[in-house]
Chain A
Amino acid sequence: MRHVLSALVQNVPGVLSHISGMLASRGYNIDSLAVGETENPHLSRMTFVVVGDDRVLEQVRKQLEKVVTVVRVDDVSSQDHVERDLMLLKVAAPAGRRSEIRELTDIFRGRIVDVAPEMVMIEISGQEKKIEAFIEMMRPFGIIELVRTGRVAMVRGTRGSDENDE
């Protein structure tokens, strides 16, 4: 089973290393980890994709909550939510094939953000499956370089991250 957990953490030095170290030392299988500041400069948001059964999920969650600098943990995937991945990808694009690449990029609602004589850079965001499908579409052209952010996710509706209503 695949779960998306979202942790609000204090924005202090070492917190990322603390949490990734804890997860590694307890042997949890983390597929993806994304970190960034929130609207509150004292807090950061970490989004994890964890693979495991409910018992593993429960343990990961409790171990996260036990870290003193972790303010709150939510199981985003148990609720109605939006999930996104951002990717930048450089693909070989000789003059004759550019329009084909451009067409595919449009279909996937991506954008070409840089053009060089022999390649283009494409920005694309979306759900994991879409990103992976796009990678497969680009493979025949020759992927030069690829970078992904890891999953970020948010629960739908009006509730904000500062509302401690659990």
Chain B
Amino acid sequence: MTTIAKNNEQKKQTAAQPISGADICIQVLVNHGVDTVFAYPGGASIPLHQALTRFRDRVRVILPRHEQGGGFGAQGYARTTGKIGVCMATSGPGATNLLTTLADAKLDSIPVLAITGQVGTPVIGTDAFQETPTVEVARSVTKHHYLVTDVKDIARVVREAFHVATTGRKGPVLIDLPKNIQLAQTAPDYDCPMDLPGYHVDDRTATPAEIEQMAAMIRSSKRPVIYAGGGVVSADAGEELAKLVRKTNIPVTTTLTGLDCFPGDHPLSLNMLGMHGSIYANYAVDQCDLLLAFGVRFDDRVTGKVSEFAKHAKIVHVEIDPSEVNKIKQADLPIISDVRYALAELNRQVRPPEDLTEWHKQIAAWKKAEPFGYNQQFDGILPQHAIHELWKLTRDRETIITTGVGQHQIWAAQFYKFRRPRTHATSGGLGTMGFGLPSAIGAKAAHPDKLVIDIDGDGSLLMNIQEMATSFCEKLPVKVMLLNNMHLGMVVQWEDRFHEANRAHTYLGPIDHPEATGQGDGITPQERYPDFVAIAAGFGWPGRSVSKKSELTDALKQMIDAPGSFLLDVQIPYQEHVLPMIPSGMTVKDLIKE
């Protein structure tokens, strides 16, 4: 027998050997190229973890300090690579702790595979210890879900899960694996066919007629705008978008999740649109005669009052999910297609609009008149200034930014000019506080050579601060630039604007401080709480607090250059509002500028 034949023979024999369901599960992950798993063990997932140790040379297991940290770690990995993020938890509380991250992945269409342990099939439904009906509660927040009740199904189910999570409109898939099924043995068949008779997404490509019509609409437009979203990132269509802009000179505005799909400092970038978008982007959308909506879903934070949104425009909507088309806004030309395919086809034949001179002139005037701004004279550190400085210091190196949720998130979107897709990870649709730190750790696991910075708020950071331990112990050094105002800033802003500044549980310091009832008079509360630098020290992180404007640049450099993780606690005033702002459900005419 030749060596190859011998090897094949051996392979066949080993393939035919019965192995445990847990081993089959991990083997399928490996077969799909999974190299990193974020997993927190527990009673019902012990066999999976035991199996993971047998694949130590191929799969890195990162142990978060809370299942939510694991789920967001997987998201950070997925959002910055385009590959699937894999996380694991035990039954009951482990599974329910993961759910928020799955709901988050669903709304932002992030491919995530979540594997949860479950109590053994004989006791399912008996209120056994750490039993929750995981699939029942996960149904509406996942793209698809499985409860495996036969070990012979594992290989097929895991394959299907990969396929469903990573094709069409991407999203989270959950597999619930009872412990006795993990332990049961069978001879695996890794090539068994998938059983998905109702899942057809391969045919979602624009027709030649649709492309032609889109090209004709572009050609005859006078005031076109591209409105690009997370779908452009998800489809890896950034390059095609850039090419389209080169060919047509059509200005581009992006959503929060699409922020990094087009360079923010490009002359034709209108930056973000919507509630806290740029004035010029919102004016341009209001005045445009053609809105090219690519990979977007007309979210309420973008449209405001739907009937007034892009009122004068013909709308072309290129979208992979048919249910998004005509859901909120009727499209004149709906195109169900992979965005990259549609843009590539369009780029073959598109000709620029005949004359955009007037339109460009108008936009330039809007941009010049009302750019994003802040009080540069302020004696202290404004959050916008801190982010702008951070951008200046990091723009020429490979940097990934993650954020929490709130004011700091929007300021990051306004003042950090992203240049390349998958360099920005933020919880857009669900808006989950606590997203920043664990997703940064996940991004770092995928990009060990890149600088990964979490721009966070004090409320958000505290929600998953235990992940500092993950960063330290797993040797995944990330930086946290904490914009600390000791308040839930975005809610405070709404209190100030719409509730007569009545503080309702939005102060994060002790309740006997005057700020708790809105009676504070300082720029920032005098007594800082909690001491984030001390907390960081407890987790083995160096840190520094900074409150003087003159020290900011030096402090930022110290953070960036630190060899390991670093927390920079930037003390900012809580009185600052995110502007401009179009109040919820209103129009560009109601725009608040100061």
Judge whether B57 is part of the interface by a CB distance below 8 angstroms. Answer: no
Whole-angstrom CA separation of A8 from B197 in the bound complex: 10
Stretch at the interface among B91-99, B136-144, B404-412: B136-144
The contact of A68 among B196, B323, B326, by CB within 8 Å, is B196
Is B326 touching A71 in the complex (CB atoms < 8 A)? Answer: no
Closest residue of chain B to A8, judged by CB? B198
Contact of A59 (CB < 8 Å), options: B140, B144, B196, B323: B323
Give, as a whole number of angstroms, the nearest-CB distance from A123 to chain B.
34
- Identity of the chain B residue whose Cβ is nearest the Cβ of A62 in the assembled complex: B323
Q: Is the CB of A21 within 8 A of B139?
A: yes
Residues 142-154 of chain B: 1 if any A CB is under 8 Å from the residue's CB, otherwise 0?
Answer: 0110010000000
Q: Which residues of A contact B498 (CB under 8 A)?
A: none
A106 at the interface (CB under 8 A from B): no
Which chain A residues lie closer than 8 Å to B322 at the CB level? 62, 65-66
In this complex, the interface size class of chain B, counting residues with CB under 8 Å from chain A, is 10 to 19
**Is the CB of B46 closer than 8 A to any CB of chain A?**
no
When the two chains form the complex, which single residue of A9, A21, A69 contacts B140, counting CB atoms closer than 8 Å?
A21
Which among B135, B198, B321, B326 is the interface contact of A69 at CB below 8 angstroms?
B198
A71/B323 in contact, CB under 8 A: no
* Chain B residue, CB-CB nearest to A22: B140
Closest residue on chain B to residue A58 by CB atoms: B326
Considering only residues 281-328 of chain B, those with a C-beta below 8 Å from chain A are 321-323, 326-327
* C-alpha gap A69/B321 in the complex (Å): 16
Residue A70 at the chain B interface, CB threshold 8 Å = yes
Interface residues on A, range: 20 to 34
Q: A71-B197, A71-B198 are in contact. Are A63 and B323 (CB under 8 A)?
A: yes
Select one of A21, A62, A68 contacting B199, CB under 8 A. A68
Q: Does A109 contact B (CB under 8 A)?
A: no
The chain A residue with its CB closest to the CB of B327 is A59
Decide yes or no whether B164 CB sits under 8 A from chain A.
yes
**A18-33: which residues lie under 8 A (CB-CB) from chain B?**
18, 21-22, 25
Per-position binary interface string of chain A over residues 90-124, scored 1 when its CB falls under 8 Å from any chain B CB and 0 otherwise = 00000000000000000000000000000000000
Bound complex: CA A115 to CA B140 (Å): 46
Distance of A17 Cα from B321 Cα, bound (Å) = 23
Q: What B residues does A63 contact at CB under 8 A?
A: 323
Contact A17 B198 (CB under 8 A): no
How long is the Cα–Cα vector from A70 to B323 in the complex, in angstroms?
Answer: 14
Verify B140–A68 contact, CB threshold 8 A: no
Q: How far, in Å, is B461 (CB) from chain A's closest CB? A: 32
Tell me, rounded to whole Å, the shortest Cβ–Cβ distance linking B491 to chain A.
26
A8 contacts which chain B residues (CB < 8 A)?
A: 198
| Chain B residues, CB < 8 A from A17 | 136, 139
> Beyond A62-B323, A66-B321, A68-B164, is A14–B197 a contact (Cβ under 8 Å)?
no
A66-77 interface code vs B (CB 8 A; 1 in, 0 out)? 111111100000
> Which single residue of chain B is at the shortest CB-CB distance from A64?
B323
How far apart sit A62 and B204, CA to CA, in the bound complex (Å)? 14
Q: Which residues of A contact B326 (CB under 8 A)?
A: 55, 58-59
- Contact (Cβ within 8 A) B135 A14: yes
- Most chain A CB atoms below 10 A, which of B139, B143, B198, B327: B198
A25's partner among B135, B140, B198 (CB-CB below 8 A) is: B140
- A10 B139 Cβ-Cβ under 8 A: no
Interface check A13, CB cutoff 8 A: yes
A89 vs chain B, min Cβ distance (A): 34
* CB 8 Å contact bits of A50-61 with B (1 = contact, 0 = none): 000001001100
CA distance A22 to B195 in the complex (A): 22
A18, B139: Cβ atoms under 8 Å?
Answer: yes
Query: Could you tell me which residues of chain B, from 93 to 150, have a CB within 8 Å of some CB in chain A?
Result: 135-136, 139-140, 143-144, 147
User: Which residues of B317-341 have CB atoms within 8 Å of chain A's CB atoms?
Assistant: 321-323, 326-327
Q: Which residue of A lies closest to B133 (CB)?
A: A14
The answer to whether B197 and A10 touch across the interface, beta carbons within 8 angstroms, is: yes
Q: Nearest residue in B to A25 (C-beta to C-beta)? A: B140
Q: Given A65-B322, A66-B321, A72 and B139 touching (CB < 8 A)?
A: no
Closest chain-B Cβ to A121's Cβ sits at a distance in Å of 34
Which residues of chain A are within 8 angstroms of B135 by Cβ–Cβ distance? 14
Residues in B whose Cβ lies below 8 Å from that of A14: 135-136, 139, 147
CA distance A22 to B367 in the complex (A): 43
Kindly name the residue among A8, A9, A67 whose own CB sees the greatest number of chain B CB atoms within 10 A: A67
C-alpha gap A17/B139 in the complex (Å): 9
Docked pose: A71 CA to B321 CA in angstroms: 16
Considering the chains assembled together, what is the distance between the CA atoms of A53 and B135 in angstroms?
A: 33
Which of B174-210 touch A at CB < 8 Å?
195-199
Which chain A residue has the least Cβ–Cβ distance from B198? A71
**Given A58-B326, A63-B323, A68-B164, A10-B198 contact (CB < 8 Å):** yes
Residues of B within 8 Å of A72, CB to CB, are: 198
B139 touches A66 (CB 8 A): no
10 smallest CB-CB distances across A and B, nearest first, come from A62-B323, A71-B198, A68-B144, A71-B197, A70-B198, A62-B322, A68-B199, A66-B323, A18-B139, A63-B323
- Other A-B contacts than A18-B139, A21-B139, A58-B326, 6 sampled, CB-CB below 8 A, are A55-B326, A59-B326, A66-B323, A67-B198, A68-B164, A71-B197
- List 26 A-B pairs, Cβ < 8 Å: A10-B195, A10-B197, A10-B198, A13-B147, A14-B135, A14-B136, A14-B139, A14-B147, A17-B136, A17-B139, A22-B140, A25-B140, A55-B326, A58-B326, A59-B323, A59-B326, A62-B323, A65-B198, A65-B323, A66-B321, A66-B322, A68-B143, A68-B144, A68-B164, A68-B198, A72-B198
